[in-house]
Amino acid sequence: MRLAVIVPALDEEQSLARILPLVAGLGDELVVSDGGSSDGTVETARRLGARVVEGAPGRGPQLNRGAGASEAGLLLFLHADSWPPPGAGAAIRQAVADGAEGGAFQVRFEGGGAWMGLGTRLVNLRTRLTRLPLGDQGHFVTRAVFQELGGYRDWPILEDLDFARRLKRRGRLVILPLAM
C-alpha cells in the first residue's frame, strides 16, 4: 500500500529543512500543507521535493488539505518538529497488513536529563493506558478510515485527540513500539 507523509506547516522553514530529508524516503508521497507562512516554508518544501498545498491556517484543515492532495491509501501525519523513528514506514505498513486501521508511535523527548526521561515514560504510559495518541506521536490511518471519520475537525486545539478518540472507537488502533 502506498504511504503519503503529510506535514502541516506555518512558518516552519528551519524545521522542514531538517525533517523533510529524513522523511523523503519514508513514504511514496510527501505533502506539506502550508497555512500561510511568511518565511521560506513553501520554497523550502518544494526545493526538498514535497508537493505543497496552501490555504488558511488551522491544523485540522491543513491536515485534511494535505490528505486530499495525496493519492496514497495510507496516510502518516507528522508535525514539522517531529522526527520519525528508523523503520517507521515499514512498521506502519506491517501494522496495517496485520489488521490495524490506524495508530501512532511512542514518544521520546530529547535532552533535559531526568525530567525529560520522566516525561517520556509518563506520556508513553498514558498512551498505553488510554490508547489515545496525540498528533506529535505521528498519527497514521488508512485513507478509507480517514474518509469514513471525516478527517480532522476544524478545532483550535486538540483536533488530534478528537481524531484519536474517533479512530479508537472506529476500529483497531495500534501504538507502535518505535519512538518519535
Which pLDDT band holds residue 25 (cuts at 50, 70, 90)?
A: confident
Partners of 32 in the beta sheet? 7, 52
Record the pTM. Answer: 0.93
CA atoms within 13 A on the CB side of 63: 27
The pLDDT, as a whole number, for residue 37 is 98
- Count of CB atoms within 10 A of residue 88's CB? 24
- Estimate to the nearest angstrom the gap between the alpha carbon of 18 and the chain centroid: 16
pLDDT more than 70, % of the chain: 99
Q: Tell me the average pLDDT across 15-19.
A: 96
Q: State the average pLDDT for the chain.
A: 93
Are the C-beta atoms of residues 139 and 171 closer than 8 Å to each other? no
Is pLDDT of 110 > 80? no
Q: At what angle do helices 59-68 and 159-170 cross, to 10 degrees?
A: 50
The string of pLDDT tens digits covering residues 139-155 is 999 999 999 999 999 99
Provide the residue type at 27 as one letter: G
Q: Rounded to whole angstroms, how far apart are CA atoms 18 and 2?
A: 24
The pLDDT, as a whole number, for residue 117 is 83
CA atoms within 13 A on the CB side of 158: 5
